[in-house]
């Protein structure tokens, strides 16, 4: 009887699914996710005095970086709850936002769960970049100290932040940054300080072995025309710092022979392959 019971238990044990394990990679890999779209009724909000009254559609991109030493989520787009409203919603007087695919489902499609993310890199704490930070409560937050201080301090609204958009962020383990930061210690994934859009805005630089060097813009510029003309949105924290950040980025791109991927640029984004495809 005991032998039969042991055999039955063993058979049930082997019938259970194997424990989930996130995929490991031999070299740096980048997944691009569609994290929403933004219809802007007056794009001159992003370039005061230019294109007044003209509408434009922007995209909202976020990214999973997979390194042999760990994982980094770069920006998190709109909150997944938005996908439950197919027609989207109005934000303020000029924006209409929509989300077709949740970030959770896109991560799952490439073999990852939110709990697999080791680091959470946020370019800045505007609502279209931090919508899903609550999915990653144990990931180590990598942000410039000024951004953390302004977003979590008593005067958040003064800097264009709304704590209701990121109620869990203060509880994350965090590494406040005071400049550039080499995430994995080998120069292949580097957070680049680029303040101006917000008090602690930052970008992400990737040295992809096969694709080449790529700089993810955050909101350094929102679309190509504004980048080329060095136009600064009227709602930026500091115009002079914003212009300097763009000039510094241009010099960096030239020195590193890197390509700028503008996270909100719909037209550029259309030519970039999205998950489950990836860059390496």
What whole-number distance in Å separates Cα of residue 239 and Cα of residue 262? 19
Average pLDDT over every residue of 79-94: 94
Name the pTM for this structure. Answer: 0.91
Share of the chain above pLDDT 70, in %: 92
Confidence of residue 18 (pLDDT cuts 50, 70, 90): very low
Q: 96: number of CA atoms within 13 Å, CB side?
A: 10
Note the pLDDT of residue 85.
96
């Amino acid at each position: 009887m005991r032998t039969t019971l042991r055999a039955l238990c063993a058979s049930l044990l082997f019938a259970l699914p194997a424990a989930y394990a996130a995929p490991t990679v031999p070299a740096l890999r980048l997944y691009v996710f569609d994290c929403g779209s933004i219809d802007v009724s007056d794009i001159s909000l992003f370039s005061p005095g230019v294109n007044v009254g003209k509408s434009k559609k922007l995209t909202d991109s976020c990214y999973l970086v997979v390194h042999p030493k760990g994982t980094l989520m770069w920006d998190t787009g709109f909150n997944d709850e938005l996908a439950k409203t197919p027609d989207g919603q109005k934000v303020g007087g000029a924006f209409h936002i929509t989300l077709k695919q949740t970030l959770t489902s896109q991560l799952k499609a490439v073999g990852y769960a939110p709990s697999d993310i080791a680091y959470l890199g946020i370019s800045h704490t505007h609502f279209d970049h931090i919508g899903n930070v609550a999915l990653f409560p144990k990931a180590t937050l990598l942000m410039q100290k000024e951004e953390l201080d302004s977003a979590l301090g008593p005067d958040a609204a003064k800097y264009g932040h709304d704590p209701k958009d990121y109620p869990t962020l203060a509880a994350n383990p965090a590494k406040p940054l005071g400049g550039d930061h080499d995430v994995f210690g080998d120069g292949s994934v580097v957070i680049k300080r680029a303040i101006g859009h917000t008090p602690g805005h930052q970008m992400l630089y990737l040295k992809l072995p096969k694709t080449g060097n790529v700089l993810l813009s955050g909101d350094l510029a929102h679309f190509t025309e504004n980048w080329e003309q060095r136009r600064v949105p009227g709602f930026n924290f500091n115009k002079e710092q914003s212009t300097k950040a763009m000039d510094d980025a241009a010099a960096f791109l030239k020195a590193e022979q890197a390509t700028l991927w503008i996270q909100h640029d719909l037209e550029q984004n259309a030519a970039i392959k999205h998950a489950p495809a990836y860059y390496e």
